Amino acid sequence: MPDSGLERTSVLRLENVSLSFDGESKVLDNVSLDMRTGDTRIILGAAGAGKSVMLKLALGLLKPTSGRIFLFGQDVTNYSEGQWFETRSHIGMLFQEGGLFDSLTIEENVAYPLINRSHQSPEQAHPRVAEALQFVELGHTLSKFPSELSGGMRRRVGIARAGIADPALLLYDSPTAGLDPITANNIMALIVQERELRNATSAIISHRFQDGHIMANFRYNSESKRLERIPGNSPLRLRTRFVVMRDGRIVFEGSESELDASTDPYIAKFSMQRSVH
Amino acid sequence: MLDILKSPIVTFQEFILLAGRATRNIVSRPFYGTDVILQMDTIGVGSLPITILIGFFSGAVMALQMSRALSQYGATGQVGQITAITLVRELGPVLTALLVAGRNASGIASELGSMKVTEQIDAMRALGTDPIKKLVTPRLVATCSMLPLLTIVADFIGLCGGYLVAVPLMALTTSSQYWSTAWRSLQYDDIVQGLLKPLVFAFIIALVGCLYGIRTTGGTQGVGRATTQAVVVASVWIFICTFLITRVFV
């Protein structure tokens, strides 16, 4: 279903999406968002602004009260759970706390999408799992359980699991929340690498402006195996946009410089973080 | 007034929907056989020691209580009959179900609740697995197959407990009379009733535990709340259902 060609087709489109629980106040209010192949969206906002809910809607874990959701050009708004299983196989998601299964080893966790969706045997999946874990520098943790790993390590395992089936769309829910700055920067470096290596469309929820700054300004050089600054005229820079949410609404969407230039006190809070750190 | 009624009605509706989906999944692929066996081990084998203990003492206490009442009528020879009927019809199924509710409905609710609050259930859906099929159906199948077996064990051990009190301890009757009256007193209806009840209770225990687990909200505090609610609701429904089933047979 996903188009991996050079043409920038629509990957995720939300059209006037609203969501409320039990008729209470709206958790999402008339949200519209359009992401095309290779795009990166950094979604910023205070706690309770509706960021995670938006990603869960994009993944079909919640159904909108009104509005339409398109994934890979298909209207998925009224998809049944069974139809969603096929669509979700093209999406990788990193949950806030990693979302790793407690009862499975790290190897089984990372192999889960391959065994479950591609019906590979654990032996067939093993080389790719080992490679994915090596990518996040956790090749030595195959037989460990999630409870034996630190928060940052669990997040890295989550990144390995999200990307192992080569999804066309990667969603990261607060990948750096609660982590120390060094670990947080390492996680962001991995996400940049993942974006470059898979040429995937990515949406990243974050409370930290720095995370967006890394995504907007750096790319992974596979030859030097390091992050390097993106040239000013690179299309990658243009495809990285910031979204700021407040009380269930998108109150800003634009480039990093536009975010910096914003005079709105709420929006400026997220840009000012850069100078604070 | 309507708000007070809304919550239990919504919960009951969710229970029915969950029951429908979980039951339908029994006959649809994929089958999670390993999970079923794992749950059978946890629910069945794990509950066996405590079932034996409770079964033994409930039978022994029944025989003790009956000894006094029956001696007034010179009918101590009927102690086997009364113990058997009471255990097979009522005490065995209800006590075993309450035990399994306390042990497993809470376990299921807390396990699934923890998975819910740590987004493992969302992750499961995101990775293409139906959580009802993977988590609920195996627990339902395991409980429905294990609880009747546990009840049979509890009934038999209870009869043994009654025997120890009635024959060697208090010499109320002879060994052969105890076992023959116990055996002969049991009608076909008693056996059906004694096996239908655990099946219905198993359905309640597994689904109530799963329902409260997968609708957990509010972090670790919510997990604790879901666990308590699961045990209370399952226990109450066990008593309501035993009354309704008994009413059909009496």
A150-189 residues touching B, CB cutoff 8 A: 161
Q: Which of B115, B120, B126 sits opposite A59 (nearest CB)?
A: B126
Query: Are A61 and B125 a contacting pair at CB < 8 A?
Result: yes
Does B126 contact A99 at a Cβ distance shorter than 8 Å?
Answer: yes
Residue A28 token pair: 């999402």
Packed helices A122-135 and A151-163: angle between N→C axes, nearest 10 degrees: 120
A63 Cβ under 8 Å from any chain B Cβ: no
- Cβ distance A85 to B118 less than 8 Å, yes or no, reads no
Do the beta carbons of residue B199 and residue B242 sit within 8 Å?
no
Residue A235 is predicted with a pLDDT of 76
pLDDT tens, residue by residue, B132-148: 999 999 999 999 999 99
B38 touches chain A (CB under 8 A): no
- Tell me which chain B residues have a C-beta less than 8 angstroms from the C-beta of A60: 125
Domain extent listing, chain A: 1-90+169-177+197-214+230-277
Residues of B in contact with A91 (CB under 8 A): 126
B127 with A100: Cβ contact below 8 A: no
Cα separation, B65 vs B162, whole angstroms: 10
Which segments of chain A have a pLDDT < 70? 1-7, 23, 272-277
pLDDT score recorded for residue A265: 87
Residue of B200, B195, B183 lying closest to B239 (CA atoms): B200
Cβ of B128 within 8 Å of Cβ of A59? The answer is no
What pLDDT does A5 receive? 45
* pLDDT value, residue A277: 44
8 A C-beta contact, residue A173 and residue A41: no
Query: What residues in B contact A116, CB-CB < 8 Å?
Result: 127-129
Answer whether A38 touches B (CB < 8 Å): no
pLDDT, one tens digit for every residue, chain B (250 residues): 667 788 889 889 999 999 999 999 888 888 888 999 999 999 999 999 999 999 999 999 998 988 888 888 888 888 888 899 999 999 999 999 999 999 999 999 999 999 999 889 999 999 888 899 999 999 999 999 999 999 999 999 999 999 998 888 888 888 888 899 888 888 888 899 999 999 999 999 999 999 999 999 888 899 999 999 999 999 999 999 999 999 988 7
Looking at the complex, report in whole angstroms how far the Cα of residue B29 sits from the nearest Cα belonging to chain A.
12
Beta bridge partners of A170: A92, A202
Closest Cβ–Cβ partner in B119, B125, B130 for A97? B119
Determine contact: A61 vs chain B, CB below 8 A. Answer: yes
Spatial separation of the C-alpha atoms in residues A240 and A254, rounded to whole Å: 9
Q: Which helix (H) or strand (E) holds A202?
A: strand A201-206
Strand partners, A244: A44, A252
Burial status of residue B225 (CB atoms within 10 A of its CB: 0-12, 13-18, 19 or more): middle
Check A117 against B128: CB less than 8 A apart. yes
E strand residue ranges, chain A: 10-20, 26-36, 40-45, 66-71, 74-75, 91-94, 169-172, 201-206, 218-221, 226-229, 240-246, 249-254
B contact residues 167-196, partner A, Cβ 8 Å cutoff: none
Domain A1-90+169-177+197-214+230-277: give its CATH code.
Answer: 3.40.50.300
Q: Do A101 and B123 touch (CB under 8 A)?
A: yes
Q: Kindly identify which residue of chain B lies nearest to residue A173, measuring between CA atoms.
A: B119
First to last CA, chain A: 42
Task: Give the closest residue to B140 by CA, choosing from B37, B229, B23, B240.
Answer: B23
Domain boundaries, chain B: 31-249
CB pairs A-B closer than 8 Å:
50
Q: What is the C-alpha separation between B124 and A140, in angstroms, rounded?
A: 25
**Closest alpha carbon to A170 in A211, A213, A201:** A201
Instruction: Please write the tens of the pLDDT for every residue from B121-178.
Output: 999 999 888 899 999 999 999 999 999 999 999 999 999 999 998 888 888 888 888 8
DSSP conformational letter for B73: T
pTM listed for this prediction: 0.84
Q: CA B211, CA B32: separation in Å to the nearest integer?
A: 19
Cis before B30? omega within 30: yes
C-beta atoms surrounding B37 within 10 Å: 13
ipTM of the complex: 0.83
CA dihedral B226, B230, B236, B238 (to 10 degrees): 170
Give the pLDDT score at A6: 52
Residue of A nearest to B123 (CA): A99
